[in-house]
Amino acid sequence: MNLTNQKPFIAGNWKMNKTVHEAIELVTKICNSSSDLASETNMVVIPPFTALNPVHEILSVGKVQLGAQDVFWEEKGAFTGEISPLMLKDAGCNYVVIGHSERRQYFNETNETVNRKIKTALVTDIFPILCIGETLEERKKEETISKIDTQLTEGLNGLGKEEIRNIIFAYEPIWAIGTGLTAAPSQAEEVHKFVRAKLAEKYGNDTASCAIILYGGSVKPSNTFSLLKEENVNGALVGGASLDAESFIEITKEAIKAYKEKK
Ligand code: PGA
């Protein structure tokens, strides 16, 4: 399967929410209301590990795909508490979030561990969703672009063009995650444009032009259209608003509308 940004990509990161029973309920609602959207968008749900398998059983009849929230860089062994990419594949995952700011902030994730995780996911044929973003302090000090630059350089270290084509990028300003504050569309576009330019410089225009670059941070139905109308915004990584089927579907519809308008 090849990644393409010809359709908007909408992923719902459920974080540490939903028991198996609740996850089944949510994904059933999402599937029931999304059958007519599937051809115009890529939709992915990202439940906690415990719900991956049961959610996959429901998804297998529809078009919505499955992702995980993290992965370890070894395939198996004595690593108590970790989940390997083979296990994610076995549970039906096609995507995995790597380097989410909550992992970087609370669980010592570094650009180096991010890099190792990306490499293992790619070997297992799972598309990594690489998260990058600055803190409020860094933005105030006008260090946003240099922070993103370092995260990309170190996170993608040692990877070639073909591998880059299988990575999804998610710009998530940390100050906008779960805070209700959203980056203005122009702020998001500035960073997305930089990410694409950096990919073009290192891996060529072909690779850069088809890269999927998502925005994340308090995405909701009311701000999706304006964000996705920006030239370099190809979709959204949604946290809180993906926990409710109606708002997740509404976000997807708004994304499709925005994409139609910018074509
Ligand atoms: P949020 O989370 O939409 O709740 O801000 C986004 C994310 O962390 O991916």
**Could you tell me if residue 3 is inside a domain?**
no
Element (H, E) at 168: strand 168-171
109-135 pLDDT tens trace: 999 999 999 999 999 999 999 999 999
CA–centroid distance, residue 134 to ligand 1 (Å): 14
pLDDT above 70: residue 200: yes
What is the reported pTM?
0.97
Percentage of the chain beyond pLDDT 90 is 91
Site to substitute for ligand 1 among 45, 169, 177, most atoms within 8 A of C-beta: 177
Backbone angles phi, psi at 151, to 5 degrees: -60, -40
Closest ligand 1 atom to Cα of 101? 8
**Could you tell me if residue 213 is inside a domain?**
yes
Domain count, the chain: 1
- Sign of the CA dihedral with 109 first, then 114, 116, and 118 last: positive
C-alpha neighbours within 13 Å on the C-beta side of residue 98: 33
Report, as an integer, the average pLDDT of 36-62.
91
Question: With bands split at pLDDT 50, 70 and 90, how would you rate the model's confidence at 1?
Answer: low
- Which domain CATH number covers 185? 3.20.20.70
**Could you tell me if residue 2 is inside a domain?**
no
- Residue closest via CA to ligand 1's atom 2 equals 239
- Residue closest via CA to ligand 1's atom 7 equals 239
- Does 172 participate in catalysis according to the annotation? yes
224-245 pLDDT tens trace: 999 999 999 999 999 999 999 9
**Could you tell me if residue 145 is inside a domain?**
yes
- Does 100 participate in catalysis according to the annotation? yes
Closest ligand 1 atom to Cα of 13? 9
Range of the domain at 25: 9-262
**Could you tell me if residue 61 is inside a domain?**
yes
The set of residues, in sequence order, having a beta carbon less than 8 Å from that of 253 and lying 6+ positions away, is: 37
**Could you tell me if residue 1 is inside a domain?**
no
**Could you tell me if residue 4 is inside a domain?**
no
238 Cβ below 6 A of ligand 1: yes
**Could you tell me if residue 55 is inside a domain?**
yes
C-alpha neighbours within 13 Å on the C-beta side of residue 216: 32
